[in-house]
Amino acid sequence: MDLVQIANKFLMQPMVEDVRRQDEFYVTVHCGVEVQEAWGRQVYGACHRAAWYRNRGHRTGETNPESAWKKYWGDLIEAGFFNVLKKAGIFIESQVGFWIPKYYLKGRVDGFVRDPDSWTGQDLLAKGSRMGIVGVEIKSTWSFGSKGTIEVSTGQKPWPKWEHIIQCALYHWHFRQVANYWQIVYLARDKGTARSHNILVTEDNRISVNGEIVPFTVDHILQRLSLLGMQLRKDEPPPRDFEIVYDRERLVKMADAGVLSKTDTDKVRKNNKIVKGDWQCKWCEFAPMCWQGVPLPYDADLEKVLR
């Protein structure tokens, strides 16, 4: 008997599978935004091409036991964090689902808590309006995922991941008559460190992150979601939203914008070979299908990039 093998098989091949409808959009896998950065077009959030593959019934789900375990540990950490908030006396509810018919948009909120800084007993009488409530999104992370979200170098500001900003902005936009704002809590399961970030959507749909207005609104997110609806009805997949290997022109622009590491910037300045691309492609289950036969910059080998 090998307990690890048994557990892996159970996580990879559950007896009862969770099935999602093909005619619904989900906040976490379908929503994103396109912005024009200094280095060119940049998409934050969902890839429309990946959504097209998924909608056509191509293989989905966890691709290996490691991915399945990461998701499982994340669920346990989330439950543990809310258990502490229950003991603190501010927990309201967790796993709250919602549906927005206009956009065929479905989501599930991690939880709601009372805000000790603004709540009073009288707020209990104000049912249906804001009552000192805050929405909560828990993100368990580790290693490189903690960089920027939890751990920052001197002089840098902490910042949540863009896809999480988009997710929580939509949550607050939908629940802003109930919740004062949303808070993303990052928990590092390797070091035990943590940090929270506040997301707030204004009445005109602008998005504030830790008090700073970002260069896109909820309207931009919903416009891109509408575009995806049209793309899914076509027989051909939409253009790729990310690059598995950047060409030199993009790398130079990224170096000039200061978004590359010092090591990578030095390589670009010296015109050295650097095989670097979007993590969304590297970790996408559809990448082998999406990039098969496509010539890559620097004659990069697709199998080595995905390995």
Residues 220 and 272 in one domain: no
* Domain C-terminal end among 205, 230, 255: 230
Domain of 145, CATH number, reads 3.90.320
What is the residue whose two structure tokens read 């909120």? Answer: 109
Residue 147, SS3 per DSSP? strand
Q: Which of 174, 195, 230 is the last residue of a domain?
A: 230
- CA 210 to mean position of chain CA atoms: 17
Number of domains in the chain: 2
CB 134 within 8 A of CB 92: no
Query: Is it the case that residue 128 has pLDDT exceeding 50?
Result: no
Instruction: Write down the pLDDT at residue 103.
Output: 93
Q: Does 219 have pLDDT greater than 90? A: yes
Instruction: Look at residue 21 and tell me if it is in a domain.
Output: no
Q: Which domain holds residue 266?
A: 242-307
In a domain, 76, yes or no: yes
CA 41 from centre of chain: 19
Same domain, yes or no: 78 and 172: yes
- Residues 153 and 84 both lie in one domain: yes
Per the domain annotation, does 128 fall within a domain?
yes
Neighbours of 284 (CB within 10 A): 21
Residue 201 and residue 131 share a domain? yes
Strand locations in the chain (E): 25-26, 32-37, 40-45, 91-100, 105-114, 133-141, 179-188, 194-201, 206-209, 212-217
Q: What is the mean pLDDT of residues 205-221?
A: 97
150 and 294 in a single domain? The answer is no
Residues 148 and 256 in one domain: no
Residue 163 and residue 220 in one domain: yes
- The predicted pLDDT at position 68 comes to 84
> 12 in a domain, yes or no?
no
Please give the radius of gyration of the chain, using alpha carbons only, rounded to the nearest integer. Answer: 21
- Mean pLDDT for 254-260 is 94
> What is the Cα–Cα distance from 208 to 7, expressed in whole angstroms?
42
d(CA 50, CA 290): 8
pLDDT tens digits for range 71-93: 889 999 999 999 999 999 999 99
**Same domain for 140 and 205:** yes
As a whole number of Å, the end-to-end CA separation of the chain is 30
70 with 207, same domain: the answer is yes
Task: Please report, rounded to a whole number, the percentage of residues in the chain having pLDDT higher than 70.
Answer: 94
Q: How many C-beta neighbours within 10 Å does residue 73 have?
A: 13
pLDDT at residue number 59:
66
> Is residue 248 in some structural domain?
yes
Query: Is the pLDDT at 108 greater than 50, yes or no?
Result: yes
- pLDDT greater than 80 at residue 226: yes
Same domain, 257 and 300: yes
Residues 216, 102 within the same domain: yes
In a domain, 113, yes or no: yes
Torsion of CA 160, 166, 168, 169, to 10 degrees: 120
Examine the domain organization and report whether 96 and 131 are in the same domain. Answer: yes
The answer to the question of residue 87 being in a domain is: yes
Structural domain contains residue 25: no
Residue 281 has pLDDT above 70, yes or no: yes
